A and B are shown apart, each in its own frame.
Chain A
Amino acid sequence: MKASSPFRFWPGAVAVAILVAVPFVASGYITALTLSLLMYVALAYGWNLISGYTGYVSFGQVAFFGVGGYTCAILAKAGMNWLVGSLIGGVIAGLLAVVLGLVMLRLKGAYFAIGMLGLAQLFAAVAGALKRVTNGSTGIFLPPSLSLVPVYLALLSLALTAVVGTAILHRSTFGLRLMAIREDEEAAESLGIHTTVYKIIAFSISAVVIALAGGVMTWYISFIDPQSAFPAALNLTMVIMAVFGGPGTVWGPLVGASTLGIIAELLWANYPGLYLVIYGVILLLIVLYIPQGVVPSLSKLLRRRGAAETVRKGRRGAVA
């Protein structure tokens, strides 16, 4: 079988090699652009786990972005290494998600989506109010990072882990059970799946991924305040990217985050006045014509091509 040949990993290996080389060979602009794309990739995969695979569409995963960001900022301010601070932020967000998940994951559909939106706003309000820890709306200033490279490599590792982890999840029984919950939670439970436990695990891993991105980005920006920690627009962006590419698929978030990230950048650079208008029109067209996302639509198209090819070959064979 082709799938087991060693050549299968070559395109991936080449892509990784190029990505590792970027901060060393490319311009500062390209490096910064790729860096932000990597952040979007990580966020879209984090969202994809709880919302794409498990079916709990969240408009507030950005809450964990802020938790990671603040943890990193506070610990870095106290003299800790930023990477360690970010990792601790991930752990805290993961544990927090377990507790919050017990409550929030009882909600379904639109109620969960809106509940999470409210939760993210609540987090922002709390961050503003806890002045002694967070410095309130003034925010926390960190020493500017001198080199992009460590931040870039941290985000690259996070994005890669998210992609590979999702690929493994997709083929695992754990992944199948998450999908079963998305498709029909009651039926999944009737098959013996402890749905609460599975949902909380997915929610928690999603929170860890997003919090890690938040921590690293905060060090990169060297500043955090309630608005930059919990930007509602960022939550919308991760939803749009994952949905554009294909939620609940392995490659969807990667395709969505990189395509839309680049389109947004090009539009912003060339048509700053019309940027949001054109971006909006593109999104509308996508939702109208390929509502399942790019990846499922493409693979369906390819399968149909493949089937047609097989039929044609079969006919030729029959004639011969």
Chain B
Amino acid sequence: MPEPLLVVRDVEKHFGGVHAIQGCSFEVGAKTITGLVGPNGCGKTTMFNLITGTFRPDSGAVIYAGRDVTGLRPHVMAQLGVARTYQLTRVFKSMSVLQNLLTVPFDQSSGERKQWAVEVLAAVGLAEEADATAGDLSFGDQKLLEFARVFMLHPKLVLLDEIFAGISPALQERQMRVIRDFRARLGVTFLVVDHTMRVIMNLCQEVLVMNHGQILAQGAPAEISRNDRVIEAYLGNRSAMKGVDHHRD
């Protein structure tokens, strides 16, 4: 495994009586595409919130690029190069597509910013919608816009929370192409949460499986899909997994 860009070590998080994350530890290798899967409510989104500083862990550490970043505020994490999308899309609805992108980054002139925004829009296939109002876009295009926006930060680590959910296979293909392209050209590292197994298996070099706030298994997609504990955690038995997998696709 390559040098880790992100290390999560023994992280715990309670919400009242709910033990959401129970001593979670894992690493994400630099310039990899790593999947994070698990049943609903297993703590994937909470883990994203802990990494990006939305929540502060009760104990444990988050180490990013060799630096302890535990409990840093979200805007600081973003400026350090950690970008994310949200499960429920959060675009700036009354602003234009281009304006959504031009809010950041901080260390560029407006000319450079605009040039980069145009490139990013072309990459995700939203170039023609640049002047459209974000709120008027279709659900799929809003997802694409939020996906595009993370690249404005010139991020090193991108956390994607179910960006493939509820959109057409053609758009999914396009997103996968962009992810692979940004990784290959710019060395961006991706941590991808999704239930669309076809995408995860296709896209990721490494897959982490969470259950009940812990890492249940870690390995290459092929190993994970054969792992009995994973299958059990997810569905109870192997035949059901095929059914659900098909349904999700």
In the assembled complex, the Cα of A255 lies from the Cα of B113 at a distance in Å of 33
Which residue of A176, A188, A194, A248 is within 8 Å of B102 (Cβ)? Answer: A176
Q: Is A193 an interface residue (CB 8 A)?
A: yes
Q: Which residues of B contact A194 (CB under 8 A)?
A: 75
Instruction: Please choose the segment from B56-64, B84-92, B195-203 that sits at the chain A interface, where 4 or more of its residues have CB less than 8 A away.
Output: B84-92
Interface centre among B75, B79, B93, B149 (most CB of A within 10 A): B75
Partner of B92, one of A173, A179, A192, A195: A179
> In chain B, what residue has the closest Cβ to A296?
B94
Which bucket holds chain A's interface residue count? 10 to 19
Provided the pairs A173-B110, A190-B83 are in contact, do residues A184 and B78 lie with their beta carbons within 8 angstroms? no
Q: Is the CB of B52 within 8 A of A190?
A: yes
A309: CB under 8 A from chain B? no
How many pairs of A and B residues are in contact by the CB < 8 Å rule?
68
Q: B90 contacts which chain A residues (CB < 8 A)?
A: 184, 186-187
Measured between C-beta atoms, what is the minimum distance from A160 to chain B in Å? 25
Question: Whole-angstrom distance from the CB of A292 to the nearest CB of chain B?
Answer: 9
Give the nearest-CB partner of A188 in chain B.
B103
Query: Which residues of chain A are near B105, meaning CB under 8 Å?
Result: 192
- Interface contact B75-A195, CB-CB below 8 Å: yes
A191 & B95 in contact (Cβ 8 Å cutoff): no
B76: chain A residues at CB < 8 Å are: 192
A199 within 8 A of B: no
Find the residue from A177, A189, A195, A248 having the highest chain B CB count within 10 A: A189
Quick one: which of A166-209 are within 8 Å of B by CB?
Answer: 173, 176-177, 179-180, 183-184, 186-195
Within 8 Å of chain A (Cβ to Cβ): is B106? yes
Task: Report Cα–Cα, A173/B99, bound state, in Å.
Answer: 9
CA A192 – CA B73 in complex, angstroms?
9
Q: Interface size class for chain B?
A: 20 to 34
Cβ–Cβ contact B99 & A179, under 8 A: yes
CB distance from B73 to the nearest CB of A (A): 8
Task: Assess A173 versus B102: contact at CB under 8 Å? Given A190-B52, A192-B78.
Answer: yes
Asked if residues A191 and B153 are in contact (CB atoms below 8 Å), the reply is: yes
With A173-B110, A186-B54 known as contacts, the answer to whether A193 contacts B95 (CB < 8 A) is no
Bound CA span A198–B184, Å: 36
Decide if B104 touches A193 in the complex (CB within 8 Å). yes
Please tell me which one of the listed residues A179, A186, A192, A195 contacts residue B104 in the complex, with CB atoms under 8 A apart.
A192
A182 CB to nearest B CB, Å: 8
**Complex partner residue of A180 from B79, B83, B95, CB under 8 angstroms:** B95
With contacts A173-B110, A176-B103, A187-B90 taken as known, whether A192 is within 8 angstroms of B75 at the C-beta atoms is yes
In the bound complex, residues from chain B placing their C-beta under 8 Å from that of A184 are: 90-92
Cβ–Cβ contact B78 & A183, under 8 A: no
Whether B152 is near chain A, meaning CB under 8 Å from some CB there, is yes
Q: A173-B103, A176-B102, A176-B103 are in contact. Are A190 and B95 (CB under 8 A)?
A: no
- 29 example contacts (A-B, Cβ-Cβ < 8 A) are as follows A173-B103, A173-B110, A176-B99, A176-B102, A179-B92, A179-B95, A180-B95, A180-B100, A180-B103, A183-B91, A183-B94, A184-B91, A186-B54, A188-B92, A188-B103, A189-B78, A190-B78, A190-B83, A190-B86, A191-B78, A191-B83, A191-B103, A191-B104, A191-B149, A191-B153, A192-B75, A193-B75, A193-B103, A195-B75
| Across the A-B interface, the 4 shortest Cβ-Cβ residue pairs | A192-B78, A183-B92, A187-B90, A192-B79
Known contacts A186-B54, A191-B103, A191-B149; 15 additional CB pairs below 8 A are A176-B103, A183-B92, A183-B93, A187-B86, A187-B92, A189-B75, A190-B52, A190-B54, A190-B78, A191-B153, A192-B105, A192-B153, A193-B75, A193-B103, A193-B104
